[in-house]
Amino acid sequence: MVQEMAHPFSKYLRAEMMPHIWCTGCGNGVVLNCFAHALDELQFDLDKLVVVSGIGCIGRTAGYINADSFHTTHGRALAFGTGVKLANPELEVMVISGDGDLFAIGGNHFIHAARRNIGIKVLCANNLNYGMTGGQQGPTTPLESITTTSPYGNIEHPFNLVHLAAASGATYVARWTTLHVRRLTQSIKRMLQKKGFCFIEVLSPCPEIYGRYNKMRSGLEMMGWFRKASVIDSFSDPSKAEITPERIAVGEFVDVEKLSYERMLHEKISKINEEAMEKVS
Amino acid sequence: MLKAKNILTGAHFLNGDVACAEAALVAGCRFFAGYPITPATEIAETLSMRMPELGGIYVQMEDEIASIAAVIGASYSGLKAMTATSGPGFSLMQENIGLAVMTEAPCVIVDVMRAGPSTGQPTIPGQQDVMQAKWGSHGDYGIIALTPSSVQEMFDLTVEAFNLSETYRVPTLLMADEIVGHMWEKVVIPPMDKVRIVNRKKPSVSPEEYKPFLPDDDLVPPMACFGEGYHFHATGLTHNESGYPRTSSAEDQTRLVNRLCDKIQKNADKIVRVEEVMLDDADVAVVAYGIVARAALSAIKKAREKGIKAGLLRLITLWPFPEEHVAKVAQHVRAIAVPEMNCGQLVREVERAAKETPVTFLSKLGEEPHTPTEILDAIRRAA
Domain regions of chain B by residue span: 2-194, 275-382
Task: Compute the distance between CA of residue A219 and CA of residue A24 in angstroms, rounded to an integer.
Answer: 8
CA B359, B365, B369, B370 torsion-angle sign? negative
For A240-267, the pLDDT digits (tens) are 999 999 999 999 999 999 999 999 999 9
Interface contact flag, B235 A277, Cβ < 8 Å: no
Cis peptide before B203 (omega within 30 of 0): no
Query: Strand pairing of B310-315 and B284-288?
Result: parallel
CATH number assigned to the domain covering B275-382: 3.40.50.920
Is residue A52 within 8 Å of residue A113, measured between CB atoms?
Answer: no
State whether residue B232 sits within 8 Å of chain A by CB: yes
Q: From the centroid of its chain, how far is CA B55?
A: 26
Residue B343 has pLDDT above 50, yes or no: yes
Q: What is the mean pLDDT of residues B250-264?
A: 98
Task: Compute the distance between CA of residue B382 and CA of residue B299 in angstroms, rounded to an integer.
Answer: 13
Q: From the centroid of its chain, how far is CA B369?
A: 20
State whether residue B49 sits within 8 Å of chain A by CB: no
Task: Compute the distance between CA of residue B273 and CA of residue B269 in angstroms, rounded to an integer.
Answer: 9
Closest-approach residue (CA) in chain B for A268: B52
Interface contact flag, B70 A82, Cβ < 8 Å: yes
Interface contact flag, B227 A67, Cβ < 8 Å: no
Q: Which of B59, B101, B108 to mutate to test the interface with A (most CBs of A within 10 A)?
A: B59
CB contacts of A50 in chain B (<8 Å) are 226-227
Domains by residue range for chain A, with CATH: 10-280 (3.40.50.970)
Query: Strand pairing of B144-146 and B317-319?
Result: antiparallel
Q: What is the mean pLDDT of residues B218-240?
A: 98
For B270-287, the pLDDT digits (tens) are 999 999 999 999 999 999
pLDDT band for position B77 (cuts 50, 70, 90): very high
CB nearest to B70's CB, from A14, A62, A79: A79
Tell me the nearest-neighbour CA distance from B284 into chain A, angstroms.
Answer: 47
CATH topology of domain B2-194: Rossmann fold (3.40.50)
Interface contact flag, B234 A17, Cβ < 8 Å: no
Is residue A20 within 8 Å of residue A64, measured between CB atoms?
Answer: yes
Interface contact flag, A70 B235, Cβ < 8 Å: yes
**DSSP string covering A24-69:** TT-SHHHHHHHHHHHHHHHT--GGGEEEEE-SSTGGGHHHHBSSEE
pLDDT at B7: 87
CB contacts of B57 in chain A (<8 Å) are 86-87, 265, 269
Task: Compute the distance between CA of residue A118 and CA of residue A82 in angstroms, rounded to an integer.
Answer: 7
State whether residue B327 sits within 8 Å of chain A by CB: no
CB nearest to A70's CB, from B55, B76, B245: B76
Is residue B72 within 8 Å of residue A70, measured between CB atoms?
Answer: no
CB nearest to B31's CB, from A46, A83, A270: A83
Q: What is the mean pLDDT of residues B189-198?
A: 96
CA B278, B284, B285, B288 torsion-angle sign? negative
Distance set, CA A78 to CA A94, A260, B119, B362 (Å): 9, 15, 27, 45
Interface contact flag, B31 A87, Cβ < 8 Å: yes
Tell me the nearest-neighbour CA distance from B268 into chain A, angstroms.
Answer: 29
Q: From the centroid of its chain, how far is CA B247?
A: 31
How does DSSP classify residue A177? E
Q: Which residues pair with A176 in a beta bridge?
A: A202
How does DSSP classify residue B73? H
Tell me the nearest-neighbour CA distance from B3 into chain A, angstroms.
Answer: 7
Interface contact flag, B74 A86, Cβ < 8 Å: yes
pLDDT band for position B5 (cuts 50, 70, 90): low
Sheet order of strands, B359-363 included? B274-277, B310-315, B284-288, B335-340, B359-363
pLDDT at A1: 61
CB nearest to B236's CB, from A72, A91, A268: A72
Query: ipTM beyond 0.90?
Result: yes
CB nearest to B52's CB, from A73, A79, A273: A273
Q: Which residues pair with B187 in a beta bridge?
A: B12
State whether residue A220 sits within 8 Å of chain B by CB: no
pLDDT at A138: 97
pLDDT at A7: 82
CB contacts of B236 in chain A (<8 Å) are 71-73
Is residue B60 within 8 Å of residue B31, measured between CB atoms?
Answer: no
Interface contact flag, A86 B31, Cβ < 8 Å: yes
For B20-38, the pLDDT digits (tens) are 999 999 999 999 999 999 9
Closest-approach residue (CA) in chain A for B3: A277
Q: What is the mean pLDDT of residues B96-112?
A: 98
pLDDT at B11: 96
CB contacts of B138 in chain A (<8 Å) are none
Residue B1 has pLDDT above 50, yes or no: no
Walking along chain A (281 residues) 10 residues at a time, the average pLDDT comes out as: 78 92 96 97 97 96 96 98 98 98 98 98 98 97 97 98 98 98 98 98 97 96 98 98 97 98 97 86 62
Q: Which of B231, B232, B241 to mutate to test the interface with A (most CBs of A within 10 A)?
A: B231
Is residue B336 within 8 Å of residue B285, measured between CB atoms?
Answer: yes
Distance set, CA A159 to CA A103, A145, A164, A208, A243 (Å): 8, 14, 7, 23, 9
State whether residue B338 sits within 8 Å of chain A by CB: no
Interface contact flag, B79 A112, Cβ < 8 Å: no
Q: What is the mean pLDDT of residues B333-340?
A: 98
Extended strands (E) in chain B: 10-15, 29-34, 57-60, 80-85, 107-115, 121-125, 144-146, 171-177, 184-189, 233-235, 274-277, 284-288, 310-315, 317-319, 335-340, 359-363
Closest-approach residue (CA) in chain A for B246: A17
Tell me the nearest-neighbour CA distance from B34 into chain A, angstroms.
Answer: 11
Interface contact flag, B235 A272, Cβ < 8 Å: no
Is residue A71 within 8 Å of residue A62, measured between CB atoms?
Answer: yes
CB nearest to B77's CB, from A17, A48, A91: A91
| The domains spanning B2-194 and B275-382 adopt the same CATH topology | yes
Task: Compute the distance between CA of residue A174 and CA of residue B309 in angstroms, rounded to an integer.
Answer: 76
